[in-house]
Amino acid sequence: VLADALGTEPATEPVPVFGQSGEQRRRGAEAMLLKRVGVLPHGLFNSVEAVGPDGVRLVEYLDWLSERAATLGGDGYRPRFHVDVYGMLGELFGPPYDRAAVTGYVRELRAAAAPYPLQIEGPMDAGSREAQIDAMAELRDGLADAGVAVDIVADEWCDSRADVEAFVDAGAADVVQVKTPDVGGLLESGRAARYCAGTDTRAYVGGTCNETTVSARRCAHVALATDAAQVLAKPGMGFDAGYAAVSNEMRRTLARHRAAVGPGDAA
């Protein structure tokens, strides 16, 4: 129904689920790795103390995460690392964000996470939507010029559908979070995610841990309908319950769809 209303071609496989660890950064990440989660671990790096002096703790964490992924994930498992830093890169470095000190630090993060792809959410909080777009675009361009293959995720100042569209139009992010409670309504969230189609920005159907199982399951349908890049495991930050709610809903939905279409028919 959502795909028809949005004019999209829905996903035929489950959308990668993004697990969130809360402050249980190591224990939560290991639980995710054992379940071979597609995107992890969020990490809640929401203070200078959490990222460490000069960002050293975040580097050490990604190095540990890479080692544990190789050990626990097994052959053929290639998750995407996604850490939310709540503007802490801006706290550590400040503008301009395309200078060597900033790109050099992100290069350290890239090396620590290797060989797994890395994306960083909310690198700075510039104080307004316009300033945030300028700062994010500056960082993205600086990383591209420096050859640092790290994706930047828009979160701060990217709340409404108009905000999502502004970030996409400006090329200010590799990924935009569609914060479903803020965007408002399933169709509005779907329209925001759909806006990324045909651009070099990917849609992340997110939200907050402070939701319900009902809203989490409905958001799974938005992710499937728009074939989003990833969908948040919610509610809660204990990981297992939210992961089960979202992933099981997608699997049930796709199984029902395949049964309804029948063998040999187009999906």
User: Annotated catalytic sites, by residue?
Assistant: 179
Name the residue among 241, 183, 235 with its Cα closest to residue 214: 235
φ/ψ (deg, to 5) at 50: -65, -40
d(CA 149, CA 143): 7
**Lookup: tokens for 22:** 């809360």
d(CA 151, CA 204): 13
d(CA 14, CA 140): 29
d(CA 5, CA 222): 11
The helix (H) or strand (E) run that includes residue 240 is helix 240-261
Let me know if 147 is exposed, middle or buried by CB neighbors in 10 A (0-12, 13-18, 19+): exposed
d(CA 258, CA 140): 40
Tell me the CA distances in angstroms from 108 to 103, 126, 148, 150, one per residue in order: 9, 23, 10, 11
